[in-house]
Amino acid sequence: MDRMIGIDYGRARVGVAMSDPLGIFASPLETVASAKIIDYLQKMTTSERVVRFVVGYPVNLDGRPAEAAEDVDVFLKQLAKRFPSIPVSLEDERFTSVLAHKAMIDGGMKKSDRRKKESVDKISAAIILQSYLDRNSKK
């Protein structure tokens, strides 16, 4: 079954999410250390048929790449080198952390759990992927 992987890349941690086989819903998976993300994705692509990576791209309010975009650009080169046959789509990640916090509150997550950056990262990855899925389901 085809899956898409959502990625919220950060210098220290990377949030990862996965679509359902029909490409309708995104679910948060886990948070991985940035240094181990390529190996993690390698294992994932051997157990699942990954057809696309959707990577959150940091953009300022004026639409220009944010400072963190340099880190994401380096990661994108690594991704293209290791997985040349899997297409990559970039998704504006503005406000994903805010939306992730709201989702955790709305979902009844305890305050102590909401403080864990790992939770925010993987939920942000799901928001990034869901945004892509929603926009492309209308095409």
CB 91 within 8 A of CB 56: yes
Q: What is the pTM (predicted TM-score) of this model?
A: 0.84
How much of the chain is in helix, strand and coil states, percent to nearest 5?
A: 45, 30, 25
Q: How far is Cα 93 from Cα 101, in angstroms, rounded to an integer? A: 14
The token duo for 138 is 């209308």
Per DSSP (E only), the strands in the chain are 2-9, 13-19, 26-33, 49-57, 88-92
114-117: list long-range contacts, CB under 8 Å, 24+ apart: 117/13, 117/31
Query: pLDDT tens track of the chain, all 139 residues?
Result: 799 999 999 999 999 999 999 999 999 999 999 999 999 999 999 999 999 999 999 888 787 877 788 999 999 999 999 999 999 999 987 655 555 555 555 566 566 655 556 667 888 899 999 999 998 875 5
Which domains, ranges and CATH numbers included, belong to the chain? Answer: 2-137 (3.30.420.140)
